[in-house]
Amino acid sequence: MGVRSISDRQVMLAKGAGMFILALFCVLGIALAQRNGLLDDLNIGLMGAAGRARDTSGGAIVTLLMQIASAVGGTVGRLCLLALALAILWRRARDRAIWLLLLVIGGTLLNLALKQVFAAPRPDLLPHLDIVHTYSFPSGHSAGNMMFFGALAMLLGTRRAYGAAAVMIALIGASRVWLGVHWPSDVMAGWIEGLGWLMLCAVWLPARRGQQ
């Protein structure tokens, strides 16, 4: 594990905490805007477009792809991917495996808490193409996969990893709107929440072996 000076760690903690607090304020701002109807044009417009696209000749194929993406990014799919990542990391870098596990657990609890705070109902503009039981805001799929795939990209530290993570995060977030179970603003808030948590947890990211 790399060595950082106390002052460097304090600076990183201040930056990470600042980013996390800013993210929470952004989520609050989106929630207030959504509750007061300021995002209706955006939400209804984008979800309405998704609904019209669902009814086209190619809509069934896209829906299937979106359902697969949503399943991969769902709780069961993400836990399976997490178990695989932990199994690989545990042999090579146990401290990084523990960091990933704690990041995911903490981020999941954070999202569940925020859902209870805002208690936003699911959209009813389109028929739901997925089974949902929790509140809508912020999107757990969007937040959870921003955290998980973002953390994997941080661990790998390559441009390809960041690119692949971005594609997965965007696809899974879009799938929730396509399936009619989240407003676009739910997804946006989930991404911001997840990114803020990532920036905070990055403070404790163990360095690769050999780094100073």
Answer positive or negative: Cα dihedral of 83, 9, 164, 208: negative
Which residue among 54, 115, 176, 182 is the active-site one?
A: 182
Catalytic residue list contains 141: yes
Q: Helices 140-156 and 94-118, interaxial angle, to 10°?
A: 160
For residues 13 and 200, give the distance between their C-alpha atoms in angstroms, rounded to a whole number.
Answer: 7
Residue 13: its H or E element: helix 6-35
Which residue among 78, 96, 115, 141 is the active-site one?
A: 141
User: Residue 132, Cβ neighbours under 10 Å: how many?
Assistant: 14
Closest-CA residue to 130 (of 172, 161, 189): 172
For residues 172 and 187, give the distance between their C-alpha atoms in angstroms, rounded to a whole number.
Answer: 9
For residues 50 and 178, give the distance between their C-alpha atoms in angstroms, rounded to a whole number.
Answer: 5
For residues 187 and 177, give the distance between their C-alpha atoms in angstroms, rounded to a whole number.
Answer: 8
Catalytic residue list contains 182: yes
For residues 186 and 114, give the distance between their C-alpha atoms in angstroms, rounded to a whole number.
Answer: 12
Catalytic residues: 141, 182
